[in-house]
Amino acid sequence: MTDRERRQVGRPATIEAPRETILAHAASLFATMGYENTSLQDVARAVGISKAAVYHYFSTKQQIYDEIVVVMLQQLEAFVRERVEKAERSEDGIRAFMVAHATFMEENFTEFVTLLHGHGGTSRVRSPGEIAARDSYETVLRTMLQQAQDRGELNIDNVASASRAILSMLNWMSRWFRPDGERRAAEFAEDYFKLLYMGFKRR
Amino acid sequence: MTDRERRQVGRPATIEAPRETILAHAASLFATMGYENTSLQDVARAVGISKAAVYHYFSTKQQIYDEIVVVMLQQLEAFVRERVEKAERSEDGIRAFMVAHATFMEENFTEFVTLLHGHGGTSRVRSPGEIAARDSYETVLRTMLQQAQDRGELNIDNVASASRAILSMLNWMSRWFRPDGERRAAEFAEDYFKLLYMGFKRR
DNA sequence: TTTATTACCGGCTAGCCGGTCAATAATTAA
DNA sequence: TTAATTATTGACCGGCTAGCCGGTAATAAA
């Protein structure tokens, strides 16, 4: 083994799509260990590069987190919008929203958990980009519910409350759902929809 | 100023109910900053004692967290059980459960947030006591729903799903609810109940 | 061929954190 | 009065972390 091989410095371990690779590994670690319990050393080790290399692509740890969140929110909205627009009846639109949200969550599980439960505590500062992306996404559901009510197609007298209820059920899924379990996330979403659509009341 | 006054060591700042005081301040900090971003120095400063004094009453940081969680879960169950048992009709029981849960959350907000969102990440080790307390609490709701269905008083064909749905909505409240806002948590819980009871479907 | 740029590395540092400990003061028991 | 117990402190330690820096190798541009 030559000295050059042993003390390799410079450009030995170039990986392709470094930013995306780093983000994916970071999301996985953030999701399981939590943001605060994940060091950039951990991230670097998972990717197979040095910590300094991580800093070559990102300037702070927070920036890595923010990028995961915003990218996920934007992809989520695009994914859901596409499926919602195909629906004709109001109830199909709502069902499509719930199923699409759950499906996306399952397909991007670690990033999604990072998005919702990455940090502990409530005082996290949300970046402007994150706030905008969140609002934009929630508006998709809210306008759908409002239209259904305005057209008299569904019985939704409290749109804000219904919207919150739907998102709450879906968001909390990321707390107990396990991708390696028997049932798909979409199935649980279907159950939730049926529940909300039919109601408890006996007829 | 004598030397004795300046370098006071020993027993100068005794507080009453030290354990409870420490737990309350710790819960408040855990809830806002997150468990990992709260140092025991922070806790000690909030209480007005030294960090070493905290270690006189608790042996690890984790122990403080665990105690907050278990105590809250037990008090929650007692609080909710008392109110649920008064209900006669099945739907009143469910409504009582939801309203009581929300009310308890509001009255013990910081501890509750700590319970649900204190840690980041999913790999937190739940203590045996916490698991038992959680199971016990969820059983209250599940048996209530099962009875309503068995007696044919309500239309709940998927008890597991309905139980998850209810707890999801209530648990997620601790993410967006603010105790200093206009509406009480119980009002939101009432809205949710109405939604689940009536359903979206037009009649 | 020289120069500039990009991709990476090892090593460092200032600072914080959980936890320990010996010392001291107040309180209680003997 | 004395001894034991309990409450509390400041000082300290080992370990870890985010971020920085000086340097090096490969590539691209001039």
CA atoms within 13 A of residue B180's CA, in its CB half-sphere: 1
Model confidence at B120, pLDDT cuts 50, 70, 90, reads confident
pTM (two decimals): 0.91
As a whole-number percent, the residues of chain B with pLDDT over 70 amount to 93
> Long-range CB contacts (< 8 A, 24+ apart) of B37-45?
B37/A36, B37/A120, B37/A121, B38/A121
Same domain membership, residue B99 and residue B167: yes
Kindly state the average pLDDT of the residues B32-54: 95
Model confidence at B124, pLDDT cuts 50, 70, 90, reads confident
Cβ atoms of residues B161 and A192 within 8 Å: yes
Q: Which CATH number belongs to the domain containing residue B12 in this structure?
A: 1.10.10.60
Q: Side chain identity at B82, as an amino acid letter?
A: E
Same domain membership, residue A92 and residue A49: no
A135–B contact, CB cutoff 8 A: no
Kindly state the average pLDDT of the residues B170-184: 97
Kindly state the average pLDDT of the residues B1-21: 60
CA of A54: nucleotide with nearest C1': C8
A63–B contact, CB cutoff 8 A: no
Same domain membership, residue B106 and residue B26: no
In B, residues 97-116, which contact A (CB 8 Å cutoff)?
113
Q: Is the pLDDT of residue A11 over 80?
A: no
Close Cβ partners of B44 (under 8 Å, ≥ 6 residues apart): B50, B51, B53, B54
Test B201 with A198 for CB contact under 8 angstroms: yes
**CB nearest B33 (choices: A121, A168, A171):** A121
B117–A contact, CB cutoff 8 A: yes
The pLDDT value given to residue B2: 33
Question: How many domains is chain A partitioned into structurally?
Answer: 2
Same domain membership, residue A177 and residue A129: yes
The pLDDT value given to residue B11: 54
Same domain membership, residue A73 and residue A42: no
Same domain membership, residue A175 and residue A83: yes
Q: Is the pLDDT of residue A190 over 50?
A: yes
Same domain membership, residue B70 and residue B55: no
Same domain membership, residue A23 and residue A92: no
Same domain membership, residue A149 and residue A88: yes
As a whole-number percent, the residues of chain B with pLDDT over 90 amount to 84
Question: A17 or A184: which carries more pLDDT confidence?
Answer: A184
Same domain membership, residue A177 and residue A99: yes
Q: Is the pLDDT of residue A130 over 90?
A: yes
Alpha carbons B160 and A87: distance in angstroms, whole number: 28
Same domain membership, residue A99 and residue A79: yes
The pLDDT value given to residue A8: 46
Interatomic CA–C1' length for residue A194 and nucleotide D8, angstroms: 60
Domain enclosing residue B39, as ranges: 3-59
Cβ atoms of residues A25 and A42 within 8 Å: no
Cβ atoms of residues A70 and A129 within 8 Å: yes
In angstroms, the Cα distances linking A112 to A74, A95, B5 are 12, 20, 56
Test B156 with A200 for CB contact under 8 angstroms: yes
Close Cβ partners of B26 (under 8 Å, ≥ 6 residues apart): B38, B43, B64, B65, B68
Q: Which CATH number belongs to the domain containing residue B101 in this structure?
A: 1.10.357.10
Kindly state the average pLDDT of the residues B75-87: 97
Interatomic CA–C1' length for residue A61 and nucleotide C2, angstroms: 38
B18 CB closer than 7 A to any strand D atom? yes
Same domain membership, residue B74 and residue B12: no
B93–A contact, CB cutoff 8 A: no
